[in-house]
Structure 1
Amino acid sequence: MRIPIQSVTPECGHAEICGWVHEVRDLGGLAFFLIRDRTGIIQVTIPKKKAPEAVLAAAKAVSRESVVRVTGTVKAIDKAPGGRELVPEIFEIVSLAETPLPLDVSEKVPVELDTRLDARFLDVRRPRVAAVFEIRSAALHAINQYFHHEGFTNITTPKIVAAATEGGTELFPIAYFDKEAFLNQSPQLYKQMMMAAGCEKVYEIGPIFRAEEHNTTKHLNEATSIDIEVSFADHLEVMRILEDLIVRVYGYVNGTCSSQLANLEITNFPLPKAPFPRLPYGEAIEIAKKTIEDPIRYGDDISPAAERAIGAEMGGHYFIVDWPSEIRPYYAMQYENDPSICKAFDLMHPRMELSSGAQREHRYDRLVHQISRKGLNPGSFEFYLRPFRYGMPPHAGWGLGAERLVMTMLGLSNVREAVLFPRDMHRLVP
């Protein structure tokens, strides 16, 4: 019976493994193969004078990245990976790989990101790349665990919708029989509707689609959003949940992904501590004014250059709070004593924005007024507005980008490295 390579030890005595041929070395009288599966790498050593003819024939015919099944004796050897080697009695080629390979899986030859994405099935065989997605999986597991423990209900909202979440032109139109429809920008409207349903605490992890013509290292046109909405909560409460979640996720990855972090050569994994600093928008603008040449004024959105400047000043995770109402969505609640400012926030990493949220306006008349003030037609949002007429509790929530979370956690240079099959302005396949 096949056992994972990580579990093969000299104490096994005899073992059967299956995996990919990672490297081949022929030293005359000895042939060495490194065989890899998702758990690790083992050295297979073939002494040519003693090996069975069938083993020698297979070893001669096999190519790198072929799938093999090897059965033999496990011996201790200090110089081999993991301190053991497998001397085969059976060496079977299960699936022969063509040559040359589209990219070097052993990572000895540098390769451009576009080449990697074109052959993603090979790219993810590389231990360093596989580590990213194992850590991403662990992070999402920790997120699901956290919300389950905190009493949240997991929901699934439509990705084909009739109206934009926030208006604007950043929408992918689709043919939906005889109707106009779009791919959803966010579960925002639907998770708010669930507050009227009495669910009180909901979360969703799912795709969002934005037709933004950005070709940068931090933008995707299809991304994974982690969203929550909480009844009887204000913006301060959901900010506390968000920072608590970030701390838990980092801690979980640190405690369970040591081998993956080692594959990424991360020896000093950061562990953020809550509470994160709260930086008012006005103060953030003043920091940016002092350190960047681009003109930036109160009421402007924060540019990438301003983000970097403010992040350098702040050092770790932080919130930008108290945003001007004019540049935030219609559903953000305004302060009673100063309607020009709203109860919105962004969670920032020194490199970029990770999350955006707010306390929502739950009062029907004020919400209709704010939709109109943004130049939108309230009639287009009737399906969304209707629940607000029948008992909508105060509520707040946020959306967190999964790819940006993984990117900043692991220090990746491009957000496309944090998603298996990225969709951007130029990439529709594979």
Structure 2
Amino acid sequence: MLIGPPPWPSGLAAAVAAGLALWVVGARLRLRPASRAAAIALYATAVLLVEWYSPDGVDGRAALLLALAGCAAVGGRARSALAGLACAAAVLVAPVAAVGFLALLGAMASAGAMASAGAFAGRWGPAARRALAAVAFVAAGAVAVAELRPGLPLALPVPVLAGLTLWGLLLCGLLWRRLAWLRPVAVAVLALLGCAWTPGPGADAVVLAAGAVALLSAVLAEEVRVLLARRVLAAGVSVAAAVTGLLAPGASPPEPVPTPPVPVAETRPAVRPVAIRVPALGVDGPLGELTADPATGELAAPDDPGRAGWFAGGVVPGERGPAVVGGHVDSRAGPGVFAGLRTLRPGDLVEVTRSDGSVARFTVTAVRLFPKDRFPTEAVYGPAPGPELRLVTCGGRFDRAVRSYEDNVVVDAVLV
């Protein structure tokens, strides 16, 4: 993300607000309450699934911005500038939204993707429209590839993604045959559904695609009443949402505790990390060793605030699995070694020099903030398909009563 994810209550609140905005968009489209209720139930189902299964939780800011853009766009041309600003903000929050926009532009510019070429493309010749469509589709693919994070798992389980994708394919197939004017939107939805299967932007793509699929389902229910009875659709989807809400807690991973699950190694590894360099933070210095506190089981902080430490009971940086490096954010003497950790961005470089002279180079994939009582132990210390690195420090609000920060900053990185 270009802008890091908010604390989970803020992200969930934005998702709820996006649902309310979808209801308003449905009203502006003159959809009946039953169809709008079905759309909100579909969207709520997806939000529940993302909240329970994704380690980052749901981030509804991009969905909220797009829903607000829809409210402004339906209101007339006078508000089109406001809608455009909201869409631009949505891309800043979740770059994967650009994939949907570019796919929409490419479909609008393509004469074969809609019954009418549209106002802006209608003035151009067929060759110019085809060129614009090709550029838009290539750009959409480039953004999707840039957002890939091969070292990360999928945001949701495969059965959940398969269910959402099948519903989207069925919906877009019906729209393509019966409502030709919605074909460009169908192309954009399919592009977002494809991104939902990619590691990295998957959770954002799921929320965005779910909102679009829900709204298009309501439109289809209004336009093609023979295919989808509004009351039956609303009732069926509401039951599915309720069942999801009841079953998701039981199917979700157990509540983690901030304790390293990897036992301390009995023998010292032959190769050890000895130094760390983070150019974006100006960090370049030796790397100590950290162990788990025997009394609490928690990872002990480095003695020197200006020096980071590697969890010696875990994985060596560069080897398969997640290597964990911790450091102070500050101290009584001033800023700590990881004072600027929260400012890292995807793509930033982290280099770890090892005792054999080799250098393991990692690139940042995500920067996340977690309440300490909801620390994602399994996601940080659990098995990983390839070499990964976790940088951990304190963050959030400082509680002066207990002299401690309320949150943890976790930076995920994968081997280059």
TM-score relative to the length of structure 2: 0.25
Q: Report 1 or 2 for greater relative contact order, CA contacts < 8 Å, sequence distance ≥ 6.
A: 2
Question: Normalization by structure 1: what TM-score?
Answer: 0.25
Q: Rg: which structure is higher? A: 1
Which is helix-richer, 1 or 2?
2
